[in-house]
């Protein structure tokens, strides 16, 4: 096994990434027919694991894919992947496909080549919490609206990311850093793979979950810790104009944690530098993650 090769969980086995393979008939490969999660590893601990698993279970249930593991089995597999890869800070992607089969108009187990789901847990030793997060990001409002929940429910973290990929192509073509989507009515929903917050008059605002956006775990944590620290947080609709004229804008996600947006469509946000509330929220988020990791390790010692 190459020196820096990662160890992957695949269908009950822990194997080198070069040996981790699924069939060309896997439904995720053919159709994006599966569910995944993105979990931050911080201090060697999967941050808010229970919340991530619950969201994954809801997605599996909605797509009528059998959950292949119990709570205990998921937790053991995830912790072993962290341990085998000596992860301190990083990212995990548990993913479950429907199984294997070519037919796109039929999904019943009886017509699949393999009805049992393929299950993987992929580690990544990277998180965006360094210099770029301190300098800020330049964004654009995407020309393509977010896929409406009337078509594909936004609460399902499915493996078909074409809407996101098209947004990423648009952002790259403009030489910018991130994309922020609106819905068909022009209200801000979320970024290509992150939730959005704005600051006006010292108060935090973020789009409500009813507005075609994924219920982000980091979003939930930020709302929780911000309110605990005395900030007013409102889940409400706002358009691109309101966002672009806010005092501060920031985004959050499992991989990116929390990052300041300093420019949108060539317009400066505030003074064009990361704002004080954005910095404070990010600081509180990292403190929360560190505290929970320490409590986890202390619990193991008892």
pLDDT digits (tens, 9 = 90+) for 12-68: 999 999 999 999 999 999 999 999 999 999 999 999 999 999 999 999 999 999 999
Report pLDDT for 22. 96
Based on the domain organization, do 90 and 30 belong to the same domain? yes
Residues 105, 220 share a domain? no
Whether the CB-CB separation of 249 and 260 falls below 8 Å is answered with yes
Taking only the tens place, the pLDDT of each residue in 147-194 is: 999 999 999 999 999 999 999 999 999 999 999 999 999 999 999 999
Question: In 3D, which of 142, 148, 236, 255 has the Cα closest to residue 193?
Answer: 255
pLDDT digits (tens, 9 = 90+) for 60-73: 999 999 999 999 99
From CA 70, how far away is CA 56, in angstroms rounded?
Answer: 12
Same domain, 284 and 154: yes
Those residues whose C-beta lies under 8 Å from the C-beta of residue 4, and which sit 6 or more positions away, are none
Distance CA 190, CA 143 (A): 13
In this structure, are residues 128 and 82 in contact, taking their beta carbons and an 8 Å threshold? no
Domain shared by 146 and 98, yes or no: no
Check residue 187 and give its pLDDT. Answer: 98
Same domain, 78 and 158: no
Residue 296 lies in a domain: no
Picking from 84, 106, 124, the residue at the C-terminal end of a domain is 124
CATH number, domain of 162, equals 3.20.10.10
Task: Give the pLDDT of residue 145.
Answer: 95
For 52, the domain range is 7-124
Q: Does any domain span residue 23?
A: yes
What b/e readout covers 53-91, taking b as 16+ CB neighbours within 10 angstroms? bebbebbbeebebebbbeeeebeebbeebbeebebeebb
pLDDT tens column, 196-219: 999 999 999 999 999 999 999 999
In percent, the amount of the chain with pLDDT more than 90 equals 88
Residue 2's pLDDT is what?
A: 52
**How many structural domains does the chain have?**
2
CA distance readout (Å), 83 to 14, 110, 122, 294: 11, 38, 13, 16
pTM of the predicted structure, to 2 decimals = 0.94
From 124, 148, 166, the end of a domain falls on: 124
**Whether residues 95 and 140 fall in one domain:** no
Residue 298 located in a structural domain: no
Same structural domain for residues 72 and 32? Answer: yes
Where residue 212 falls (left for φ over 0; alpha for ψ -120 to 50; beta otherwise) is left
pLDDT of residue 125: 79
Q: Is 65 within a domain?
A: yes
- Do the domain assignments include residue 299? no
Asked whether 3 and 24 are in contact (CB, 8 A), the reply is no
Q: Indicate the pLDDT class of residue 244, thresholds 50, 70 and 90.
A: very high
* Residue 62, in any domain of the structure: yes
Residue 128's pLDDT band, with cuts at 50, 70 and 90, is: low
């Amino acid at each position: 096994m190459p020196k820096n090769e990662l160890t992957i969980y695949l269908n009950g086995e822990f194997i080198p990434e070069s040996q981790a393979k699924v069939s060309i008939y896997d439904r995720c490969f053919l159709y994006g027919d599966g569910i995944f999660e993105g979990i931050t590893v911080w201090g060697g601990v999967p941050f808010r694991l229970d919340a991530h698993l619950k969201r994954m279970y809801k997605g599996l249930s909605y797509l009528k894919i059998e959950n292949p593991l119990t709570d205990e089995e998921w937790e053991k597999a995830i912790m072993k992947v962290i341990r085998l890869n000596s992860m301190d800070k990083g990212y995990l992607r548990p993913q479950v496909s429907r199984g294997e089969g070519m037919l796109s108009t039929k999904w019943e187990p009886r017509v699949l080549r393999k009805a049992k789901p393929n299950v993987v847990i992929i580690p990544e030793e990277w998180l965006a919490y360094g210099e770029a997060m301190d300098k800020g990001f330049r964004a654009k409002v995407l020309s393509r609206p977010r896929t409406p929940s009337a078509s594909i429910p936004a609460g399902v973290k499915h493996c078909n990311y074409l809407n996101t990929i098209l947004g990423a192509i648009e952002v790259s073509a403009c030489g910018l850093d991130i994309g922020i989507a609106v819905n068909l009515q022009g209200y801000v929903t979320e970024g290509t793979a992150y939730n959005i917050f704005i600051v006006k008059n010292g108060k935090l605002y973020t789009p409500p979950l009813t507005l075609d956006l994924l219920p982000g775990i980091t979003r939930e944590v930020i709302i929780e810790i911000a309110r605990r620290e005395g900030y007013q947080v409102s889940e409400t609709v706002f358009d691109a104009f309101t966002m672009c004229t806010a005092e501060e804008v920031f985004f959050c996600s499992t991989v990116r944690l929390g990052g300041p947006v300093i420019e949108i469509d060539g317009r400066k946000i505030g003074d064009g530098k990361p704002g004080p509330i954005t910095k404070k929220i990010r600081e509180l988020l990292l403190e929360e993650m560190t505290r929970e990791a320490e409590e986890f390790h202390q619990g193991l010692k008892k």
